[in-house]
Every structure is written in structure tokens, then in C-alpha cells.
Structure 1
Amino acid sequence: MALSGQPAEASRRWPLRRPMRVLVAAAGLTLAFPGAQAYGEGGAGLHRSMLKVVPLGDGAHVVTGGITNTGFVVGKDGVVVIDAQMLDADAVAMQREIRARTDLPLRAIILTHSDPDHINGLPAWPRGIMVIAQENTLSEMTDTVAGKQFYARPQPPVPADLKSYLPTELVRHSRTLTVGGISVVLTHLAAGHTDGDLVAWFPAQRVAFVGDLLTGGDPNLPDRGPYPVINLEKFGSSAGWLKVMKAALALNARVYVGGHGSAQVDRDQLKAMILATERRRDEVEKLFKAGKQLSEIRAILKDPPPSPPLFFPTFVEIVYAELLRA
């Protein structure tokens, strides 16, 4: 079952868009966030713990630890992996954990989006493995390999062999695949965290892997409350996030697996996050339309000052920047 709602019209990049650094500067934000040095040094400052595998039932597993939450599903004829890890050592450790549970071949890796903590571990996986992603993720990975800098802050080095792992199976809006005896519905409804997000819905397991569409509770993202992280530099959207997550809530899912923080979110928790996010976005928009400046809005809404390490503005700042763009 695909996500409900109409897919966004073609993909990437709003026409005639203003450069994002101009937008955030106009909003009074900065892209040189505290904690960036640790990220630029390969993520060592963000590494949380050794990997831990938690079974979700019917062959689905979530992998916590490292820098980002990942996962895998064991089917009749093979294994499907969700996100590749950032560090080679974690990618190798994840394969070791898979091998402790099954000898079936690794058939595919689904990328939930293009951020380096989800893709930089790809060269540590077997050469020739099927790599599945949304079309914009392929474009962003191609840009990354070519040396494009998405962020003003330092970025981790691009793995030398990442060019050999560019996605070969692409999704524009929605696609259903059977890989290794596993059925998965892949949907891109709108830009949310980035413009290349995929929701990977495994109907037999009733598990949805949603990547950084869910980031709550991560100690590396302090002061976030229940609100999502929106990556404006990769054309994410808070309005799009609400559209995508409302559709995800309509799935018959037992659990939603996010890219950071709490690895398992149930339906009630997701509903509460959606309601809180929608309410906060409406509050910011109302104050913006009343002529309030960002500093005033933050004071009125008691938006906490960011604490390092931090890589993205607060949700209030994000919505303000989006409203300036509109």
C-alpha cells in the first residue's frame, strides 16, 4: 500500500529558487554551526556506542549505535539493508551482525536520503549490491562525488569509491519492489528532511523505515523537543514533512524507525509529534504574518538557545526562513 495523498510534482529544486545561504542570511541564521568540526573530522565526536541489533519481528531488525540508526530485513532469498552507515568500521560491524543471523546474500541497500551519515559507508559493502534511492538522492550523491559543497560547515571527506555505489534503482514518487523475497513499498510524497527522502514501508513486517524524517531524542541534536530537523540546504520543507508524516501515520505500521534518537516510534508517539509540529509551525506563521522579527518570535515562543553540538537551526528558525522564501 502506497502512502496516501498526491505525489509532489517533479522532483528536485524549486524553479527560480534563491540560494539557501542567501535565505538563511536574510533570516538572521548561520550555517557555521557549533559542533561542525567533529562532523568534518569524520564523525568521531558523534559516535554514540557500539552497534546493537534489535529484532522487530518477521525478519525486520533495527541497528542502533554508531552515528545513525539503520536496519535490515531478512527474507526468503536474501537481505535488504536500510542505509549504509557513515563509517566503514560501522558498516563492517553491521555486516558482521547480519552474518551472525543469516547466511543469505545481501541483495540491496535502500538509502533514505543523501546525508553523509547514511551513505558514506557504502564502499564497505559488497561491490555490485543493488542501491535504491529517490531520484534527488542520486542527483545529490552525484554532486557530492563531483566535489559540490552543500554546507558552509566542514564536511566529512567523500569516500574515494563512493562513485562506484551510486544508486541504480530509482524512485520518483512510488515504487513497489520484491527483493530477496521481501516486498517493500518506497514512497517520496514531498520534500521533508530533504528533497530526496524515501519512506521504506515493509507491509508484511508492518515496519516503516523513514530515515531522518524522525530525529527526536538524539543527544547530538539537543533542545529539539518533538520537532523534526529540516535540512534547508537540501531543500527540505516543514510543510512537506507534515504531509509525508500524516500519510505515514495512515499506514498499518506497528513501528516507525527514525534515523536518529529513539529508534522505534509507535503510532501514538508519531501522532503526538505531528500535532506538536503542526501547532508550532502555525504559531510561527501567525507571528510572522503579524510582522514579528525572528528574535521576537523566538522570545515569544521561548525557543531555547541552541546547545553544541548542533548542525541545523531550531524548528522555529527553519519555519521563519521558509516563510521568507515563500
Structure 2
Amino acid sequence: MSKAFASQADLQDKQVTFTKLSDNAYAYTAEGDPNTGVIVGDDAVMVIDTQATPAMAQDVIRRIREVTDKPIKYVVLSHYHAVRVLGASAYQPEHIIASQDTYDLIVERGEADKASEIGRFPRLFRNVETVPPGLTWPTITFTGKMIIWLGQLEVQLLQLGRGHTKGDTVAWLPQQKILFSGDLVEFDATPYAGDAYFHDWPETLDRVAALQPEKLVPGRGAALTTPEQVQQGLAGTRAFIADVRACVEAGVKAGKDLNAVYKETYARLQPKYGHWVIFDHCMPFDVTRCYDELTGYPDPRVWTAERDRQMWAALES
């Protein structure tokens, strides 16, 4: 019997936690669902990643309004995936900020990704009819580094390298050593690597670690509130990416096809990571992308709703 496609069988609501990390930083988390970061400056609020629909973003806004009435002026997109960006309109921000690489990915594959992700995650796209027509477009882009001052609070937006996507952006509070990593780092949640760069990701994590964050909001999973927890999150993400690559590389060198490599990789990693959130969802996409990278596709191929289903049928039937 084949597994339910992606996360279509995941229909149970998650318990939301709104964690205060400092007087300026908060983490909106929900038991492994996509996280949202909140930075409250002297004169304005910045939101990092939006939730998947405006209706779902309303709960984030409600939590923000419990701690401040300052205007939400900035929305930062850590990357282009629909589950992170399509709720942006609810905040009515003055600016939506993303890396230029993320902007380019929206141009190239935003529509395909939107259709793909809505098909994979019905629960996360609750009230999808509240998403305005079209895509979420940045109003400001940058390359490498951008600094925004929220009064006296410095926020650095940094591209530390390719990993989860080629456009990954982190938000860094250097005065407080708090990092919002997006999906470059996960905690007790399976990294989605369908659009990843397996070769680059570990080095990018090294650059994250070099900042020496004392607190970190991962893309999925609980907020990491001590340096020890931060190290656990970095180590777990790094180990998963390395293990997938090692298994797939061994299969490729042995001349095995994708189907055989997938089954062997799943069997080897399931005992170690199978308890992590969305493991069964991510593994077919992750192994397919890693196999591609090792066999002649340096850049990720576009996932469409049709390609998703074809891949799933080939590997999970």
C-alpha cells in the first residue's frame, strides 16, 4: 500500500507557542509547522516569514498585538517557498524584503511552486482563498548583506550561502546574538531539500555557527533558547544533510537508479530520523534532489504539481 501523498494525511492542528526571546525578539512556533519570527524595534515591527495564507497570518498578528501596537513595517522572506510567503498581504507592510536570488526564483518558479505546495500541504494552506491573486513580490531586494535600523535596534539581513535554496536569508540581531535562520536550520524536524544545494549547505551552516548565536529560531521546530540548544539544531541539520548525501553518493557510485537509491537511503535514515516531523514527506523530494545534484543537475529542477505526483508514484508505489 502506497503512502499518502506528501502531507495530505497530516490534518491534525498543532499547538502554537509564542516564545519571548528578548524584549525585541519572539518566535511563533507550532510543533514542527513552519515558524514565523517577530522583531519589535523602537518604532516598528519586522516579521520574518509570513505563514502560508493571510487567514493563518492573522493568528501571528494577534500574538504581536498582545505585546506591541507598533506598526508592522517590514516583512522579510527567508526564501521563496509559498508556505513561507503567501500570507504577506495580511500584515500590510510598507516593505517586503528578500535577497535578489529569492526574487529571481520567484520569477523563475513562483507559480509552479505555489501550485506544488498547495497540493502537498492542505492543512497549512487553510483558507487558501484568502491569498490574493498572483505571487508575493518583494519591494526591496539585496545581495549579500543589508542592515535595517529599527530605531536603535540593528537588524542584519545576511546571505551566508546556499543551502535550503540559493536565496536563503537569515535575520541577525548582533546586539543580542539572536538569529532567525529560516529553513537553513531545523530542530527535530526533517530538512526539506527538494530545492537544496547539498554540497554547499554544510559550509553555510559553518557560517551560521561562526556568528555564535546564543538563541535561534529555526524554520521548523521549537525556538532554541540556549547556546547548547543552538548547537544541537546546527548539528542535527548538518548530520541529516551529510547522511542523505553519503547514502545517495554511494548508490550513484554503484550505478544504481533513483528508485533503488531512494529505498536504500530511506531504510538507512529512518531509524535515526524517522521520528522527526515530515520525514516521510521530505525524503522522496530530498533524495531526488540529491541524486540530481550528483548526476548532472547543479541547480534544482522546478517542482510542479505534476512532477510531484509523478515522482511520488515512481518512488512510493
TM-score interval (norm. to shorter): 0.7 to 0.9
User: Judging changes above 3 Å, is the alpha-carbon distance between structure 1 residues 181 and 142 closer, same or farther for their aligned structure 2 residues?
Assistant: farther
Q: Does 1:75 align with 2:38?
A: no
- How large is the Cα RMSD of the aligned pairs? 3.3
Q: Paired residue for 1:189?
A: 160
Letter in 2 for 1:132: I
Letter in 2 for 1:239: H
User: Judging changes above 3 Å, is the alpha-carbon distance between structure 1 residues 308 and 201 closer, same or farther for their aligned structure 2 residues?
Assistant: closer
Q: Paired residue for 1:13?
A: none
Q: Paired residue for 1:89?
A: 55
Q: Does 1:101 align with 2:67?
A: yes
Q: Is the 8 A contact 2:186 2:233 kept in 1?
A: no
Q: Paired residue for 1:322?
A: 293
Q: Paired residue for 1:138?
A: 103
Structure 1 distance, partners of 2:114, 2:55, is 25
Residue 299 of structure 1: which of 255, 259, 264 is its match?
264
Structure 1 distance, partners of 2:168, 2:98, is 8
Letter in 2 for 1:107: K
Q: Deviations 1:254-300 (Å, cap 9, x if unpaired)? A: 12211112332412441354255335534542443343444257437
Q: Paired residue for 1:6?
A: none
Larger RCO, structure (CA 8 Å, separation 6 or more): 1
User: Judging changes above 3 Å, is the alpha-carbon distance between structure 1 residues 116 and 244 closer, same or farther for their aligned structure 2 residues?
Assistant: same
Q: Is the 8 A contact 2:17 2:29 kept in 1?
A: yes
User: Judging changes above 3 Å, is the alpha-carbon distance between structure 1 residues 160 and 174 closer, same or farther for their aligned structure 2 residues?
Assistant: same
- Identity rate of aligned residues, in percent? 27
Q: Is the 8 A contact 1:246 1:274 kept in 2?
A: no
* Shift, 1:118, TM fit: 1.0
Letter in 2 for 1:259: G
Q: Paired residue for 2:238?
A: 274
Q: Paired residue for 1:110?
A: 76
User: Judging changes above 3 Å, is the alpha-carbon distance between structure 1 residues 183 and 33 closer, same or farther for their aligned structure 2 residues?
Assistant: farther
Structure 2 distance, partners of 1:279, 1:54, is 31
User: Judging changes above 3 Å, is the alpha-carbon distance between structure 1 residues 46 and 238 closer, same or farther for their aligned structure 2 residues?
Assistant: farther
* Shift, 1:317, TM fit: 4.4
* Shift, 1:108, TM fit: 0.8
* Shift, 1:320, TM fit: 2.3
Structure 2 distance, partners of 1:164, 1:182, is 31
- Higher alpha-carbon deviation: 153-162 or 108-117: 153-162
Letter in 1 for 2:193: I
User: Judging changes above 3 Å, is the alpha-carbon distance between structure 1 residues 164 and 299 closer, same or farther for their aligned structure 2 residues?
Assistant: closer
Structure 1 distance, partners of 2:52, 2:183, is 14
Q: Does 1:257 align with 2:217?
A: yes
Q: Paired residue for 2:192?
A: 229
User: Which of the two has greater helix per residue?
Assistant: 2
Q: Paired residue for 1:209?
A: 180
Q: Paired residue for 2:204?
A: 244
* Shift, 1:182, TM fit: 2.6
Letter in 1 for 2:39: V
* Shift, 1:310, TM fit: 1.5
* Shift, 1:141, TM fit: 3.5
Letter in 2 for 1:78: A
Q: Which runs of 5+ in 2 are unaligned?
A: 298-317
Q: Does 1:54 align with 2:19?
A: yes
Is the partner of 1:123 in helix, strand or coil? helix
Q: Paired residue for 1:121?
A: 87
Q: Which runs of 5+ in 1 are unaligned?
A: 1-31, 39-43, 219-223
How many pairs does the alignment contain?
276
- Higher alpha-carbon deviation: 298-307 or 202-211: 298-307
Structure 2 distance, partners of 1:200, 1:212, is 12
